[in-house]
Every structure is written in C-alpha cells, then in structure tokens.
Structure 1
Amino acid sequence: MIHVLKRAWADMLMPILQRPKRVQVAALCYKNTEDGKKVLLITSRDTGRWILPKGWPVEGKDGPGSALQEAWEEAGVSKADIEEEPMGYYEYAKGLDNGVSVPVETQVYMTRVRDLKKSYPEVDERERQWFSPGEAANLVDEPDLKEILKAL
C-alpha cells in the first residue's frame, strides 16, 4: 500500500504542485524630465496596491505588443517606444478569480511614454501616477521589481 501511495504522489500529485510558472508581460513606463527619470505606476483593481501595467500575453501579439496593449488599457499609454527584449523579470503569486493562487514570472519591457490619454478602458478602475524610480521601488511589493526600479 505504501508503494502505491508513493507512486501516486510521485506520478500525480507532485506534477500538479510543481506546475511551471505562468508568464505575464509588464510595461515599465517612463519619461525623462528635468528632475530625472519618472516611472508610471498604476493601482491594482483588487487591492489598490501600486503595480506596473501588466497582464497575460495577448493572442496574436508578441511580448512587447502585449505589454503595450496592457499599458493602453490600464494606464492610457497611447504612444510609446518599447524595447524588443525584456530588461528584467520578477515573480509573484497571482490570485485568480476562483480563489487559487498561481506562480507568475513577469517579463518587464522598458517603455518610453510619448503620449498619455485622459480617457482609456480602465480609467474608472485604477489610479495612475508618476514617481521617481526610488519612490516607485518603495511602493511596490515584489522584491525583484523593487530591485529593477532601484537600478534605474
């Protein structure tokens, strides 16, 4: 009986518990000012904590294209220059609607903002604000994202 339980654990339960991380994409939106670089953060819809615009990859778009789509929907970024390769990664636990939490690795794309709109899809659901990289690092929760922001 012990052999059957060990086999069930190894073959069925462990693979479920050790699922690979899911992937999201984020736009690290910035602008250069006389006072230095500023970073655009938005609030999450559920907890109101400060985050980068981010989401699941969009079908038919690559990583940078998906990140730009999220920046538009969540922050109103209508024109921007985005890097083709991620400049960093951070991990966090994403709470899903069904109450389950999944591990996520987020690819971060540097995005120089050229235009912001006042009206955009999630304008009534989120706040947005510009911060210095140091201020932004102090506001986000994810340790790896803090380091990315401090390095700016």
Structure 2
Amino acid sequence: MQQLLHKIWSQTFQPMLSRPRRLQVAALCYRRDKSGCEVLLITSRDTGRWVVPKGWPMEGKSSAESAAQEAWEEAGVRCGRFEETPVGRFEYDKRLNNGALEPLETLVYAIEVQELRDDFPEAHERTRKWVSPKDAAEMVREPQLQDLLRGFSPS
C-alpha cells in the first residue's frame, strides 16, 4: 500500500504541484592553447565554489547576449565570439536568502574569449581560474554541467 501511495504521489500529484523551472543563462568562456582549450571558472560570491558566469535573461538582449553580459560583469570577458545557439543546458536548485530552493534551468553559451580585463564590475568579489575542461568538470558541483564540460571541444 505504501508503494502504491508513493507511486501515486510521485507520478501524479507532485508533478502537478511543482513549479516550473525558471530560466537562467550561462557563459562557458574558453580560449584555445597548444593543448586544445581552457575554460574560465569563477568563484560564486556566497560560498566561493567554482561556477561559470550565469544570471537572468535581460530585457532587450538575446539569451546569448545576456550570457555575454554576465561574462563581462562576473569574469571580465570584455570581448568574445559566440553563437546564438546554446552548447548545452543544466538544471540545479538555487538556495535563496530565505533558505528555500528555487529550481532553475540554465542554457549554456560558449564564448571564445578575445579580451579579458582585470577591472570589471565584480572583480573584488570573485576569483578567476583558467583550467582544462576536464579539470573544470571536477571543480563544479552540478552533474549536468560536469558532463557538458567533459564533452566540451570547440570547433
């Protein structure tokens, strides 16, 4: 009986009561080097864990342009080439200030870094680090982002 109730809850009622995931955009900033490529990770402002620049879509900008804006504000990427098509997506739960979790879906846009500045809006709040995609996958927490990084190879 308990299994039946759990099945009814998880397959019927829980999906009806769940809020849809809100959309964020992220920048997978990279540069090419002799060994292939490196990606740019930054620390989050609250916990200091390694993440990619990300944020909310911006009015008047495409999702890719919004991701590029986040790359500037959070990582100092002043100029970069990008496509309007995401290279992937990942889901995670963001912990809000009140302790609640907000389910998010994040579209990821690859940005080839052409200019990186040391003076950018959040420079005093974050640390940056260039690493291989494989190392980056070990540094971030989100499993789907880890998978994306492991398979990342810009053409």
Of residues 27-36 and 90-99 in structure 1, the stretch that sits farther from structure 2 once superposed is 90-99
- In the other structure, the counterpart of 1:147 is 147
Q: How does 1:7-86 map to 2 (within 5 A)?
A: 17-86=17-86
CA distance in 2, matches of 1:61, 1:90: 21
Displacement, 1:96? 1.9
Displacement, 1:14? 6.0
TM-score for the superposition, normalised by structure 2: 0.86
Match of 1:150, as an amino acid?
A: R
CA distance in 2, matches of 1:77, 1:16: 41
Q: How does 1:115-130 map to 2 (within 5 A)?
A: 115-130=115-130
What RMSD, in angstroms, separates the aligned Cα atoms of the two structures? Answer: 1.5
**Which structure 1 residue ranges, 5 or more long, are not aligned?**
1-12
Displacement, 1:16? 8.1
Match of 1:121, as an amino acid?
A: P
Match of 2:81, as an amino acid?
A: D
CA distance in 1, matches of 2:15, 2:136: 37
Of residues 62-71 and 91-100 in structure 1, the stretch that sits farther from structure 2 once superposed is 91-100
CA distance in 1, matches of 2:16, 2:97: 19
- In the other structure, the counterpart of 1:133 is 133
Displacement, 1:50? 0.4
Identity of aligned residues (%): 54
TM-score for the superposition, normalised by structure 1: 0.88
Match of 1:63, as an amino acid?
A: S
Q: SS where residue 124 of structure 1 aligns?
A: helix
Q: SS where residue 80 of structure 2 aligns?
A: strand
Match of 2:120, as an amino acid?
A: Y
Superposed CA offset, 1:31-58 (max 9, x none)? 0001220000000001100000000111
**Which structure 2 residue ranges, 5 or more long, are not aligned?**
1-12
CA distance in 2, matches of 1:133, 1:15: 35
CA distance in 2, matches of 1:17, 1:94: 19
- In the other structure, the counterpart of 1:96 is 96
CA distance in 2, matches of 1:139, 1:28: 14
CA distance in 2, matches of 1:140, 1:69: 21
